[in-house]
């Protein structure tokens, strides 16, 4: 993924397991212990509060990576993602369902793709027994990956989703 992955700056786009954000400010602020700490302030580019304002968050700079935030994937990573998407699904790579949430929180798009492939394999193999929870999980992973890829590649979200679903439907 991106070079200098632990180096962040104002105007960088970052992502967690749910949203894409842009860092807009860095300033010192007292933490809960009363110490002055440097914080990054960032706002969601797609989620809004009840007053139609972007959601604003802040995290101590020293904890930004620990909090699950990372840089968006690069254009090169998008190409790698599509190559990996085209690879045949291997049932031997099965991930224990108990570990899936932990993997998703790690916020690695390539690991999330592996889980998405597994879910689509299960869905295509036996659609009648594919649970509602798995359907929701599949849709959440798919939407998150599509949001990031569409943003990075500057392509319409619908076309990115159509392309990914088209490949996954053949698993």
Two structure tokens written together for 144: 């998150």
CB contact at 8 A, 109 and 148:
yes
**pLDDT of res. 72:** 97
Q: Report CA-CA distances (Å) from 30 to 26, 59, 63, 165, 169.
A: 13, 12, 15, 46, 50
Q: Helices marked H in the chain — which ranges?
A: 75-86, 97-106, 109-125, 132-153, 157-168
Average pLDDT over residues 54-63: 91
Average pLDDT over residues 35-49: 88
> What are the domain boundaries of the chain?
13-71, 75-168
Q: What is the mean pLDDT of the chain?
A: 91
**pLDDT of res. 5:** 59
Mean pLDDT lowest among 29-43, 55-69, 91-105 = 91-105
pLDDT band (50, 70, 90) for residue 55: confident
pLDDT digits over 66-120, tens only? 898 999 999 999 999 999 999 999 888 888 888 898 898 889 999 999 999 999 9
The correct CATH number of 75-168 out of 1.20.58, 1.10.10, 2.60.40, 3.30.9 is 1.20.58
pLDDT digits over 116-165, tens only? 999 999 999 999 999 999 999 999 999 999 999 999 999 999 999 999 99
**pLDDT of res. 105:** 86
pLDDT band (50, 70, 90) for residue 1: very low
CB contact at 8 A, 119 and 138:
yes
- Higher per-residue confidence, 107 vs 3: 107
């Amino acid at each position: 993924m991106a070079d200098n992955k632990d180096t962040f700056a104002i105007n960088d786009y970052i992502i967690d397991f749910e949203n894409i954000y842009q860092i807009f400010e860095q300033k010192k602020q007292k933490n809960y212990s009363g110490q002055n700490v440097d914080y990054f302030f960032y706002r969601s580019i797609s989620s809004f509060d009840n007053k139609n304002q972007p959601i604003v968050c802040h995290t101590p700079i020293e904890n930004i990576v620990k909090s699950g935030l990372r840089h968006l994937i690069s254009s090169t990573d998008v190409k790698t993602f599509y190559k990996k998407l085209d690879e045949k699904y291997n049932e031997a790579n099965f991930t224990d369902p108990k570990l899936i949430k932990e993997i998703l929180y790690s916020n690695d798009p390539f690991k999330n793709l592996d889980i998405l492939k597994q879910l689509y394999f299960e869905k295509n193999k036996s659609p009648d027994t594919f649970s509602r929870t798995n359907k929701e999980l599949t849709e959440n992973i798919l939407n998150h990956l599509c949001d990031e890829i569409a943003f990075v590649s500057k392509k319409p979200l619908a076309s990115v989703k159509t392309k990914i679903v088209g490949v996954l439907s053949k698993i």
